[in-house]
């Protein structure tokens, strides 16, 4: 299923923010920052990535429900995608 690029803009924005956070974490490591600070930033990036994944699956489900003729849902495949984020 191809997702609507307009609707995926929020996910893209979240991923770009996470990309910036990753760059910041790398710099923190290179600068010898405290372990606690680094781990806190890693947790924030991890949560941002998880939310992007769940938002993507949510959008796919929404598209399948609102336009079932053009977006046939493979329930097993959607379940597998959802569980891959767990």
pLDDT on residue 15: 95
The set of residues, in sequence order, having a beta carbon less than 8 Å from that of 45 and lying 6+ positions away, is: 18, 21, 22, 25
Name which of 8, 6, 5 is nearest 57 in CA terms.
8
- pTM as predicted: 0.77
> What stretches of 1-86 show up as alpha helix (H) in DSSP?
9-30, 35-66, 75-84
Mean pLDDT of 16-31: 96
Distance (Å, whole) CA 47 – CA 9: 18
């Amino acid at each position: 299923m191809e997702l609507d690029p307009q609707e995926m803009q929020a996910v893209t924005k979240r991923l770009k923010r996470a990309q910036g956070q990753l760059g910041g974490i790398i710099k923190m490591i290179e600068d010898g920052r405290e372990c606690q600070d680094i781990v806190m930033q890693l947790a924030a990036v991890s949560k941002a990535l998880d939310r992007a994944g769940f938002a993507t699956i949510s959008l796919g489900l929404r598209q399948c429900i609102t336009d079932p003729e053009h977006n046939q849902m493979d329930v097993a495949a959607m379940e597998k995608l959802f569980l891959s984020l767990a």
